[in-house]
Homo-oligomer: A and B are copies of this chain.
Amino acid sequence: MRMGVLGSGMAAQAISARLAELGHDVVIGTPEADKLRGWQSSNQRVLIGSFAETAAHGEMVFNATNGTESLNALSMAGDENLTDKILVDVSNPLDFTNGFPPSLTVFGKDSLAEQIQRAFPMTKVVKTLNTVTARVMTHPLEVADGDHHVFISGNDVDAKEQVIDLLRSFGWINIFDLGDLSTARGTEAYLLLWVRLYGTMNTSMINIKIIK
């Protein structure tokens, strides 16, 4: 499948590499291609494009840009390159203006995922993977053999099903469908607990399991 991954950070790199490893045709998108040259030298199956080239390439597009930059990045990617496509939003609206630990720039009665959905109403936004670090996103079995949960939120049931299939191909066993995209308010807010777990446990190879 043709995949476009917007972003140049750890999440974008991890997702791009994993998708390529699984046989997909991947373009990673950034306005600062030089940042990715070193990484690309060991990931030669992934091509580098602009935001717009990357979104145009993807049958499915990932938003792995910094949350505070996502709306701008998606605007540069272009509405016409996102229309009728699934946009997998893995970003978090982390506000580091006061250092670590971060706060969030949007919270409570809204979420970054919903802001993106409102800005691109013809795109099928699916929020997932934002509750774990990049390596766990793409290699969930490396934490307790996958005995933990990833969440998924979105308004389009078919789009969620396609993303669930992709998550399973990454190795995810426990995929928790929270419901419509407004439930991303919950998973984005959880990041404020995640950063504290990370701060205490001295490893980012962590996640939570829902227990009942």
Contact = CB atoms under 8 A, between A and B. Distances in A.
Interface of A: 95, 98, 101, 103-104, 107-109, 143-144, 147-148, 176-179, 182-183, 185-187, 189-197, 199-201, 203, 205-212
Contact of A210 (B98, B182, B192, B197): B197
User: How many chain copies?
Assistant: 2
Contacts of A104: 107-108
Contacts of A190: 189-190, 192-193
A210 B208 contact: yes
Given A95-B108, A108-B95, A203 B196 contact: no
A176 B205 CA distance: 17
A98 B147 CA distance: 36
A191 B187 CA distance: 10
A103 B109 contact: yes
Contacts of A182: 101
Contact of A209 (B98, B101, B143, B211): B211
Nearest to A107: B107
Given A179-B199, A208-B209, 4 more contacts: A148-B211, A183-B200, A186-B197, A206-B212
A158 to B, nearest CB: 19
Contacts of A109: 98, 103
Contacts of A177: 200
